[in-house]
Amino acid sequence: MLINLTELFSADGKEKTCTPEIEMDVFQAPDGGLRISSKEPVVLRLKHMGGRKILLEGRAVLSLSIPCSRCLEPVDVPFKLEICQELDMDKSEKERAEDLDEQPYVNGYDLDVDQLIGNELLLNLPMKVLCRDDCKGICNRCGMNLNRGNCSCERSLPDPRMSVIQDIFQQFKEV
């Protein structure tokens, strides 16, 4: 959803509160698309700070369905995003890039709420998601989820070509 910011510049200190819906159903993460399993309307408060500066404060609550890092089962991960940013409309795109303050969610005087939420999600994504702490993962031979049961794959036979390296490891264990 786009929010037009031009009406805020009519007077210093003018405020606007809005609750736009998140329109995206899939968040495009670096590793691929993640389904948004639940979402609430975003609460945004925009305040004109004088000149061409706007204070943007907001809150977003949503959940992403992220695959478990071990067994690949989907896990609903809740996010409570707190947003507090100052938008300086006087800066050019080049100046923002130099200040490392790029704002791809602002295009002219339009604020793209989905892009803003996407940027905040990107910064808050967890490094690793587990369905449970004792997740056993999947078998590296047949791909069976080991949380549901054991597979019939043989695990005890090491490659005979690796026996020399195994002997070296055994020597270090004795020390």
Name the residue ranges covered by the structural domains of the chain. 2-124
**DSSP annotation string for 57-80:** EEEEEEEEEEE-TTT--EEEEEEE
Q: What's the rounded Cα separation, in Å, for the pair 47 and 9?
A: 9
pLDDT, tens digit, 9 for 90 and up, residues 94-113: 665 565 555 677 777 788 89
pLDDT, tens digit, 9 for 90 and up, residues 11-28: 777 888 999 999 999 999
Q: What's the rounded Cα separation, in Å, for the pair 56 and 116?
A: 11
pTM of the model: 0.76
pLDDT, tens digit, 9 for 90 and up, residues 35-54: 999 999 999 999 988 888 88
